[in-house]
Every structure is written in C-alpha cells, then in structure tokens.
Amino acid sequence: MKFDKPATTNPIDQLSVVGKSTDRIDGPMKTTGTATYAYEHKDLPGKPAYGYILGAAIAKGRIESINLSDAKSASGVRAVVHYQNCGQLGQGDKNTATLLGGPEIEHYHQAIALVVADTFEQARSAAELIDVTYKTEKGAYDLAEIKDSGANVGDGFWGESDTRIGDFDNAFSSAPVKLDQTYTTPDQSHAMMEPHASIAAWQDEKLTLWTSTQMVDWAQKDVAKTLRVPTANVTINSPYVGGGFGGKLFVRADAIMAALGAKAAGVPVKVFLQRPLIFNNTTHRPATIQRLRMGADRSGNILAIGHESWSGNLKDGSPETAVSQTRLLYRGEHRMTQMRLTELNLPEGNAMRAPGEAVGLMALEIAIDELAEKLDMDPIDFRILNDTQVDPEKPERPFSQRQLVQCMQTGAKRFNWHKRNPKPAQIRDGRWRLGMGMAAAIRGAPVENSGARVRLETDATITVETDMTDIGTGTYTILAQTAAEMMGVSLDKVTVKLGASALPVSCGSGGQWGANSSTAGVYAACVKLREKIAVKLGFNPDEVVFSTSLVTAEGRSLPLQAAAIHQPIEAEDTIEFGDLDKQYAIQTFGAHFVEVGVDTYTAEIRIRRMLAVCAAGRILNPKSARSQVIGGMTMSAGAALMEELSVDTGRGYFVNHDLAEYQVPVHADIPHQEVLFLEETDPMSSPMKAKGVGELGICGVGAAIANAIYNATGVRVRDYPITLDKLLTAIPDAG
C-alpha cells in the first residue's frame, strides 16, 4: 500500500480498541520472568558453551604480539578466536569501527579475542591468561582541545551540514538585544538494563542468532556482510529486548564474536558484553560544544538566530546533530546553523534516544530563557511571540500540525506558572531554594516502510506477524490493537509474533518511527485481508464493515469465522510512504515544566514536580505512551543532573564504565510525573494519523531543569551535568 496522499476516514477512526489505555499484553510474561530474552533461549541444537570477550587495553595503536597458549590450555576451554584465525571479515554498513580488532586497534575495549569454554567462569578466567603486547600511538581524546580542527560533515540523513537564510551576521550584529553563549554536553551512555547479548548456533553453513537488537533486518544484513556469508544463511531472532535507546540499532561485537566462537567450537555459544565493554565497546552519545547567538528587537521578535555545534567521532563516523531543532522551532528572518565533526579516537559515537534534539534543546532552551530575561519577558510569552506555523528555512512548507503554543499554555495553567517569581533566588522552603523552569520540545516524526502478514485463523482469531521488535515500548500491544480495530474483533482474539527475520520486514524500532510505521504496516495488511474476506463471503469490499466478529454489508451480516471454516485466510502487505514529509514539516511538539529545590548549604538539587504536555498525533495507547514519556523525562533528568562519561584524555577511554560509577536516576531522584496529551490527529503522517512519542519525552527536559535551577538560585550553569560543585561557590548565602 502506498501512502502518498493525506489519510481520510478509515476503520481506525472507530477508536473502539485503538486509542484506549490498554495493559501491555506481554506484561504478564515479563513480570513473571517467562518472557525469553536473547541470552535465555534454551531450544538449541546442543548444549551451549560460553564466550568471554577480551577488549583492547589501548585506544589507538596496534597489537605487536598475542600469546594464547596459556588460555588455550586452561580448564574447559574449547576455542580461542582472534584476528589471526577467524578468516577475513567484512564490515557492516552500520558500523564505523570493525567489530574484531587486530592488529590495528581503533578504540579502547575493541574486541580482540573471544575465549569459548564450558562455563562462563572458565572463559573469563582463561581470557585473563592472554598476554598481549601493544604499540601505542598518540590519539585525540579531548573534544575541546581539538574543536577547531572540526570539518564540515557534508550532507547526510541530517540534511545539510550548514544552512544560511538571509544575512545572519549583519542582523545579529545590529540587533538591539543580543545573546552569545556557549553550552556543553558530555558523552553519555545508553546504560540499558539488558546487556548486549547473543547466542549463536550453526547448522552446516547456516547461522541462527538469538540477539538483542532493535532492527532485525539491519542485523541480518550486517551479520551476513561481516561474516561474508549469504544473507539467506542468517536467521535473526529477537522477540524481547530489554532496552536499547539506540544502542542496539546496530550489530555489535557480542553477535559477531558469538557467531565466530560457535563456528570454531562446533557448539552453540552464548556471549554477553560485560558492563565495561557496553560503555567502551558499543556506541554512546557524543559530547557537544554548542555556541548560540541570537538577536532580537526590544519587543521580543527574534531577528537573528545562529547555532553552531561541534562533536567528535571515529574516522568516517557521523556527528551529533545538535542544531536540528533550531532549524524548525522558532521564527526569525536571518538564520544560520552549522555542524562540525572532529576525529576522536574514543569509542564510536552514534544514535542515543532523540539524537540531535535531546542535546540541542539542552542548549537552545537555556539560551531562549536567557534572551527572554534580557528582554524582561516571561519565557513562555517570548516563545509564543516567536512561534511559527511554517518551516522557517522553507516558508512554503507548512507544519502538518503544530500545537506548541497550546502545549505551553495548557502546561502553564496546569503547573500554576503564574506563581513563579521571575526574579531568581526569591522563593524559600526552609533551607531549600525553590524555582520553576520550562522548555519547549520538538522531535521529528519520521516514517519508514514497514511490512506485516495478517491471518484469519479457522477459530476466528487473528495472527499478526512482522519482524518488528518490542524494546519495552509496548509494540506487541499497539499492533494487536491495530489488528483488532481493523478486523472487528476483541483484543484477546489477536496473537502477535515479532522479532524474527523469517517474518515480513518491518521498520524496526528507532528514531521515533517505530509505532506509527509498524502499525501502518499492519493496517495495510489488514486492508488486504478485509478485501479477501469480503470477496470470500460475497460482499462488496468497498462497503463492508467489520465489528464484533461480524462482517456486515448490504443489510446482512455473517460471522467472521465463516470466511475461514476450512482453512485460514492470509494477507501480506507493506506500507510504502511517499513524499508528504517534503510537502509538510511533520513534527511532534511538547512543553516541559519542572520545579526544583536547591539546598542553600549543600547545593543538593531535588526535582519536586514534573509535567509534560505533548502533541504527537493520535495516541494509540495512552497508557504505554505515558510510560514512554515519563521514561524520557527520567533519562533527561539524568542527563541534566548526573550522567557524564568521564574521559581519560591521556589513555582514551571512559573511566566510569559501570553502573556503580556512571550515575543514572533512581526512584528517589524522580517525583511524580504528570503527562498530558493534547487531542490531535495528523492525516499527513500515516493512515493511523499518529506520530511517535517515545523520544519527545526526553526533548527539552534538561533545559527545563537548568532553567528551574537558575530561577531557584540565580546561578546559570551552561555545562552539563549540573552538579553541586558548579553551584556551591556561587549560590546565595543562607541569610
């Protein structure tokens, strides 16, 4: 099915199942421990062995010698795989660095060997016996130090590297009110609960891989390319994923090393990445340095807006696209954005929840508050004044839906924004200084082609099959809701099968495209199935209605089951999206409000209240959508207050590479979070009229927290995370 025209009225609009707050149908399996994750799969062709990966102890250089004799002779060892005995490997399209290093080393903890043994403990112990001699080369590990060497990144998925509209330089220099500030965000880790984990098993020349991945189709193709085998010889299974946040978009060393180890040992092999390798071997969110310049007239109209960003990555890597939201969020005739990428020898930087906007808004939305203060304007009033209903860089391209102003106004009323004292450091609650802050949120609503197969079984139940993944987002449930709505059955009559490469290729989970695209794929398959059933029952497909397990048309009804008495009826289709996104700017919007308390004496920061107001198309399942938003809010609170990968700039690695020293929020850090969804349908987005929401929740929250801290203390911190040492010497005295 092609989707190249705005959606009109269709069966989803009945909203008998879609749009209802629904418990996740996979919830009972996950809460009872019966959901089988990649590392837990038991139906294997033989008793599995265990693999342990040895990571490189240098960040840049080469291996001069590697002595494996002690490891090979250790108790229980079945095989040792390394670059000298694994054959020639390829490189997946989605990988920047090679997944098995040697002799050249591209980054710290790059996999250089795998020990396969009867038990995990034996494999780990033997890996410690491998003696490696390195020749270290000088590397670049400090973004600030080499920022000026950054190069233009050209065009890519982010669009153009640089954009210019009007005459930014003259407009900025002549503006009556100006802001010119620099903001920084650190390297951050996905820190998902389930580690990168895989089980590999070979039968003749065919590989089956149970692995934790967000993108089954990408994984199948990149595993095949890396191992230099036909794609058809690789089977991927990933029915449950315990968190990804972008870190499992791409094949990592656990999958490839498990496959190599299983081939060498002749038995299935289980491999998971120990926490230090998750931090240093896999991808992370790169650090940024961002300069924002804005000029306005004295009435508050933005005349010039410029946003420059610097980030680093390995050779041939991509940038952190921190300027993306600035191209769309506020009006202003004279505009400039610019991204520069420096070559660093740190582990690979890549997508992490809301890449671009998550860190870009951490800077932009502080800058907006700072300029509003210079203008003596309320931050919300300033934002509303500079709202735009068209793409500021392409005025001929309107937004398909844009309720940003309504989000801010609704949130302000709900949060009692009128009680905020605009003068900082004025409100006290005992030893706590209180402040309120807010920020706007924007995140793209991309779509990707997505396929599905839908089957009416002989017992009148519906089976949905697609290689789509559920990374904790509720995919099983919204796909079941979609099929139930389309086929006129109750939710308990729908079975959903996900996460296997043998199933139709879907969009996969990532980029905030998963929910909207995958449900649209199921919608397309259901349209085809409805047509087949109507014809089988002698109805006109254009007039048929499916409801309460009945098929009705032309004044008569038949049971749905009547169409499949003797054998199931099956239909398969793929939603193929046209260019509506070029005609319209299709985005999601929100407003975040935060109240904090800052201890006068210790500078301890406590979040007291949080509110998100979102406009993100039709909300398919408000219950799971709320969970996605509060998860994003929590991650952004971590980014604002504690999350930072500390770089050893001498040796080129992340020092705090475990969950003991890389701080993430815990329950005690997060108060009650309120989420409101504005009524919205977007016919330009898909037949579902929905959009993604899973990444919108992380966008803007960090700046709202920073703005609240400033309102509480009068101390403006522009370098994240906002830790107490950055406040302690500047916070007003207790008196």
**Residue 611 maps to which CATH number?**
3.30.365.10
Of 541, 565, 582, which marks where a domain is finished? 582
Q: Which domain holds residue 457?
A: 2-32+447-582
Q: Give domain status of residue 389, yes or no.
A: yes
Q: How many CB atoms lie within 10 A of CB 93?
A: 12
Around 39, how many Cα atoms within 13 Å sit in the side-chain half-sphere? 14
Query: CB under 8 Å to 450, separation ≥6 — which residues?
Result: 466, 468, 505, 506, 507, 517, 518, 520, 521, 574, 575
Domain count, the chain: 2
Of the residues 582, 612, 647, the one at which a domain ends: 582
The distance from CA 168 to its chain's CA centroid, rounded to whole angstroms, is 33
Place of tokens 């919007």: 589
Q: How many CB atoms lie within 10 A of CB 273?
A: 24
Residue 73 is assigned to a structural domain of this protein: no
Q: What pairs with residue 465 in β-bridges? A: 453, 497
The set of residues, in sequence order, having a beta carbon less than 8 Å from that of 525 and lying 6+ positions away, is 451, 452, 453, 454, 464, 571, 572, 573
Same domain, 532 and 645: no
Same domain for 566 and 650?
no
Give pLDDT, residue 735: 43
How far apart (Å, rounded) are the C-alpha atoms in residues 684 and 585?
Answer: 9
- Tell me: do 565 and 650 sit in the same domain: no
Based on the fold, state whether residues 542 and 620 are members of the same structural domain.
Answer: no
Average pLDDT along the chain, 735 residues, taken 10 residues at a time: 98 98 96 95 96 98 98 98 96 96 98 98 98 98 95 82 97 98 98 97 97 98 98 98 97 98 98 97 98 98 98 96 97 97 97 97 98 98 98 97 98 98 96 98 98 98 98 97 98 98 98 98 98 96 96 95 96 98 98 97 97 98 98 98 98 97 96 97 98 97 98 98 94 67
- Domain for residue 309, yes or no? no
**Final residue belonging to a domain, choices 527, 551, 582:** 582
3-state secondary structure of 6: coil
Residue 140 inside a domain? The answer is: no
> Do 611 and 719 sit in the same domain of this protein?
yes
433 and 452 in a single domain? The answer is no
**DSSP summary character for residue 57:** S
Q: Is 570 a catalytic residue?
A: no
d(CA 87, CA 586): 47
In this prediction, residue 283 carries a pLDDT of 98
Same domain, 371 and 398: yes
240 part of a folded domain:
no
The verdict on residue 333 lying in a domain is no
CB neighbour burial string for 602-618, b if at least 16 within 10 angstroms, e if fewer: ebebebbbbbbbbbbbb
CA gap 67, 184 in Å, rounded: 43
- CA 724 vs CA 380, 570, 643, 707, 717: distances in Å: 27, 60, 13, 15, 10
CA atoms within 13 A on the CB side of 265: 31
| Catalytic-labelled residue, pool 357, 370, 485, 695 | 695
Q: Do 717 and 594 have their domain in common?
A: yes
CA distance 658 to 651: 18
Asked whether the CA dihedral 480, 500, 158, 662 is positive or negative, the reply is positive
Per-residue DSSP letter, 58? -
Q: Does 732 reside within a domain?
A: no
* 682 and 603 assigned to the same domain: yes
In a domain, 166, yes or no: no
Query: In this structure, are 573 and 633 located in the same domain?
Result: no
Q: Are 474 and 506 in contact (CB under 8 A)?
A: no
Same domain, 416 and 534: no
Q: Cα separation of 657 and 678, whole Å?
A: 40
The amino acid that residue 240 corresponds to is Y
DSSP 392: T
CA 507 → CA 147, 442, 448, 518, distances in Å?
36, 22, 5, 6
The verdict on 476 and 429 lying in the same domain is no
Strands (E), 532-621: 545-547, 550-553, 556-559, 569-577, 587-599, 605-615
